[in-house]
Amino acid sequence: MPPTHPTEVTLDVHLGPDELMAGMRHDALHGLGSRPRELPPTWFYDNVGCRLFDAITELEEYYPTRAERSILIDYGDQIAKASQADTFIELGSGTSDKTRHLLDAMLQLGQLERYVPFDVAEPTLRQAADQLVGEYPGLTVHGVVGDFRHHLHLLPAGGRRMLAVLGGTIGNLPPEDRAVMLATLSAQMAPGDTLLIGTDLVKDPARLVLAYDDHAGVTAAFNRNVLVRLNRELGANFDLARFEHVALFDPDNEWIEMRLRSVGDQQVSVGDLGLTIDLLDGETIRTEISAKFRPEGWQAESEAAGLELVSQWFDPAGDFCLSLSAKPGV
Ligand SMILES: C[S@@+](CC[C@H](N)C(=O)[O-])C[C@H]1O[C@@H](n2cnc3c(N)ncnc32)[C@H](O)[C@@H]1O
């Protein structure tokens, strides 16, 4: 038998170092320069942030990853059959760790030809893609480095596609941005293409808060990492000891918010932006929302974007939901 050589990874980079810095500068200037202060969660994910997120997924308190993994294990074959996809595009793919259950099921069905991991974190994406070509000889792995808030028009075309956003990442977008993202995806889907979305479900607020405020302080370190990054990459002078990690549930919006709360009045400057901000004692910077969904609510959102619900799958505890919707017309 001749040795099997893993296929090469193709990588499209729409977010090189210059674009990445420009994006971070834009978001920091707008988000920190006005009240209420805010930074998008996109900037958590440098190498340290990606490692911290991985550590979060292992925490006892953080049930969503385990719940979604169990759905992928139990129903991966049904998802594969329902999608009939030969191309699987995953937005915010990270390490693609639990995605492997779905790749296995899709390959088992015999139709999958191409996997397209898409992420803002280039080193993590490269590493994941390199590992995947080794693990799945014959599967084309076409990575895309991009920001799904800006680069959805650059997704690889062709084939029967299943697009996916797993891990509850869709809930990190405010509702209006989520609607834009859904409409943008729907507009470029061909009849028969499908969209698989992982959503964390509304549940006991105490459990939700604990998932974002673990005892070991891993999520707190993840949250503060955005300040570490602004210090290093934008010449800011945040004193980490003077920012407390806050996780709270907003019952009106049914979302978790992560914030960083100023301990005492303080002035912070972001050198590369020529920006100086005065933070009052107790004032917060919102760093993430994580919306919690109801199955029928997600159905309504996807239908508003012109997609038809095919099926929804749940873990045994009913904590998490995977919804598959299709572009009608076949
Ligand atoms: C919550 S993690 C989920 C990772 C993985 N999908 C999972 O389920 O474990 C969010 C992922 O989305 C990526 N991400 C965050 N904002 C992004 C953006 N604007 N564009 C592309 N990727 C983004 C992060 O780098 C990270 O890998």
Q: Looking at residue 64, which CATH number applies to its domain?
A: 3.40.50.150
Q: pLDDT band at 8, cuts 50/70/90?
A: confident
pLDDT of residue 277: 97
- Give me ligand 1 centre to Cα 94, in Å: 6
Asked if residue 198 is part of any domain, the answer here is: yes
Quick check: is 103 in a domain? Answer: yes
* pLDDT interval class at 1 (50, 70, 90): very low
Share of the chain above pLDDT 90, in %: 97
Q: Which residues line ligand 1 (CB under 6 A)?
A: 42, 45, 53, 57, 65, 92-94, 119-121, 147-149, 166-167, 169
Residue 297 lies in a domain: yes
Residue 25 domain-assigned (yes or no): no
Mean pLDDT of the chain: 96
Q: Work out the average pLDDT over 6-18.
A: 87
Tens-digit pLDDT profile for residues 164-177: 999 999 999 999 99
Averaged pLDDT for residues 207-235: 98
What band does 3 get if pLDDT is binned at 50, 70 and 90?
A: very low
Specify the 3-state DSSP secondary structure of 112.
coil
pTM of the model: 0.96
- In terms of DSSP bridges, do strands 37-38 and 284-291 run parallel, antiparallel, or are they unpaired? parallel
Q: Looking at the domain assignment, is residue 63 inside a domain?
A: yes
The residue whose CA has the least distance to atom 24 of ligand 1 is: 92
Domain count, the chain: 1
Per-residue pLDDT, 84 = 97
Q: Which domain holds residue 132?
A: 59-204+293-326
pLDDT tier at 6 (50, 70, 90 boundaries)? low
> Is residue 148 one of the residues assigned to a domain?
yes
Degrees to nearest 5, angle at CA 219 with 115 and 246 = 130
Does residue 28 fall inside a structural domain? no
Q: Which two tokens stand for residue 257?
A: 């918010």
Distance from chain centroid for Cα 39: 15
Q: Whose CA is nearest to atom 14 of ligand 1?
A: 92
What is the structure's pLDDT at 7? 64
Q: Are strands 308-314 and 320-326 parallel, antiparallel or unpaired?
A: antiparallel
In a domain, 220, yes or no: no
Q: How far apart are CA 324 and CA 309, in angstroms?
A: 6
